[in-house]
């Protein structure tokens, strides 16, 4: 039991853990939405909300205190001028955490942490949701597992273009084959093959007289024997 123990070590040293949260806070104040593990998101949330509350005061001590954690002055200026004024009438709860499921590989549980007034359409290119890209949650689920794949429309367009290119190549191949009418010449090669077969059979017929000539030699050899007997 973790009695009287606050915070998560996250398997890091103190310096490494502070550097991690410093980078995540900078990314959250810049993009207003980040994807991280659930444990990191739960540790990051109270830090981010405390800084938004301090930025809502607009005082110099609050700015200096935030600069000790986020050293980028442009990000701190954006926090004071753009983010904090949106939550002046809200006592807390500026962010929310949405789970994404398990990550492929190590099985870590992922989550999205974002400001509650975050609008995806305002942060897409051109100020409107881009076609064929899908939502950030769908893309994250497709990337880390456990959700629908992103960009289904893009995949459909790719398959259509692939089919069109395949049809074009088939048509080009057929057009290249059609003018070649002499390709039917191998059909007329059959008579030549028959002539070769006839020529191959002729030597076999010529060999028959040689086989018949052998008995004549025996008859000629037999005649001298008969003459010897007469003598």
Q: How confident is the model at residue 130 (pLDDT cuts 50, 70, 90)?
A: very low
CATH classification of 14-150 is 1.20.1250.20, yes or no? no
Q: How far is CA 210 from the centre of its chain?
A: 79
What is the rounded average pLDDT of the residues 124-146?
53
Helix (H, G, I), strand (E, B) or coil at 95: strand
- On whether the CB atoms of residues 105 and 145 are closer than 8 A, the answer is no
pTM value surpassing 0.85: no
Rounded Cα distance between 77 and 18, Å, is 21
Which H/E stretch holds residue 151? none
pLDDT score at 203: 52
Residue 181 in tokens: 């009418």
Q: Which residues neighbour 120 within 8 Å (Cβ) at sequence distance 6 or greater? A: 129, 135, 136
Average pLDDT of the residues in 89-118: 93
Domain residue spans of the chain: 14-150, 152-181
> If pLDDT is split at 50, 70 and 90, which confidence band does 17 have?
very high
Contacts of 169 by beta carbon, 8 Å cutoff, 6+ apart: none
């Amino acid at each position: 039991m973790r009695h009287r123990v606050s915070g998560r070590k996250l398997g890091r040293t103190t310096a490494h853990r502070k550097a991690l949260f410093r980078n995540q806070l900078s990314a959250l104040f810049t993009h207003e939405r980040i994807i991280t593990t659930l444990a990191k998101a739960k540790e990051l949330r109270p830090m981010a909300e405390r800084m938004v509350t301090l930025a809502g005061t607009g005082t110099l001590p609050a700015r200096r205190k935030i600069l000790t954690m986020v050293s980028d002055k442009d990000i701190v200026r954006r926090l004071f001028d753009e983010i904090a004024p949106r939550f002046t009438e809200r006592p807390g709860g500026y962010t929310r955490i949405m789970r994404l499921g398990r990550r492929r590989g190590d099985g870590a549980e992922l989550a999205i942490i974002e400001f509650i007034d975050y609008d995806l359409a305002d942060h897409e290119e051109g100020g409107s949701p881009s076609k064929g890209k899908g939502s950030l949650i769908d893309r994250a689920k497709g990337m880390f597992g456990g959700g629908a794949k992103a960009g289904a429309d893009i995949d459909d367009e790719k398959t259509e273009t692939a089919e069109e290119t395949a049809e074009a190549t088939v048509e080009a191949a057929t057009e290249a084959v059609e003018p070649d009418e002499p390709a039917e010449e191998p059909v007329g090669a059959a008579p030549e093959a028959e002539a070769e077969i006839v020529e191959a059979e002729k030597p076999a017929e010529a060999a028959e007289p040689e086989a018949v000539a052998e008995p004549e030699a025996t008859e000629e050899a037999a005649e001298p024997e008969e003459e010897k007997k007469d003598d």
